[in-house]
């Protein structure tokens, strides 16, 4: 099983999809496409995992909102992952999640055997969700899937091109 080391996540208007360009541990790259329909099914599971990481002594909405604000403050722009001419490119048809206490393993796959795995701790997952949220706004997709602790946050303003974030 191949593991993604770094991602560039961007919204492509002509496709009306999210493209993930991923750098693999073996120095290769892969391009995966995520539809809005798949993301709408995936996101609630990611939110739930983060909410389970909560401190029981603090109201969940407050804790999640503060944690998301802290992530936005730390989100930095880096060089994008560049896909190569030989990079595989495919539409993600299913996503499998394997949670444990401090990390979430996300396996993107197709029915014909393409698959890549991304392992994220809570902070990195929050960063990726912040990026997806910014792209969601750019795509003008309905926001009803987003919990209040993310949806109420102001968009991050430190990024140059909101259509392409890493």
- Where are the chain's structural domains? 4-160
Helix (H) or strand (E) holding 21: strand 17-24
Give average pLDDT by consecutive 10-residue segment, the chain, 166 residues. Answer: 90 97 89 98 96 68 57 66 88 96 94 94 92 96 92 52 48
Q: Is the pTM of this model over 0.85?
A: no
Q: Is 101 exposed, middle or buried (0-12, 13-18, 19+ CB in 10 A)?
A: exposed
pLDDT of residue 65: 59
Q: Is the dihedral of CA 83, 88, 89, 90 positive or negative?
A: negative
- d(CA 132, CA 119) in angstroms, rounded, equals 17
pLDDT of residue 91: 97
- Joined tokens for residue 38: 């798949």
pLDDT of residue 160: 46
């Amino acid at each position: 099983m191949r593991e993604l080391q770094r991602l560039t996540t961007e919204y492509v208007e002509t496709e009306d999809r999210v493209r993930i360009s991923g750098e693999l541990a073996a120095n290769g790259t892969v391009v995966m496409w995520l539809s809005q329909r798949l993301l709408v099914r995936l996101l609630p599971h990611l939110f739930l995992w983060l909410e389970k990481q909560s401190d029981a002594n603090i109201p969940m909405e407050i804790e999640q909102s503060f944690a998301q604000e802290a992530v936005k403050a730390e989100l930095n722009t880096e060089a994008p992952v560049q896909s190569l001419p030989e990079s595989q490119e495919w539409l993600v048809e299913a996503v499998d999640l394997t949670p444990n206490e401090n990390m979430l393993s996300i396996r993107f796959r197709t029915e014909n055997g393409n698959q890549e795995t991304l392992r994220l701790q809570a902070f990195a997952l929050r960063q990726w969700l912040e990026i997806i949220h910014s792209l969601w706004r750019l795509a003008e997709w309905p926001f009803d899937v987003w919990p209040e602790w993310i949806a109420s946050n102001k968009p991050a303003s430190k990024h140059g091109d909101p259509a392409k974030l890493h």
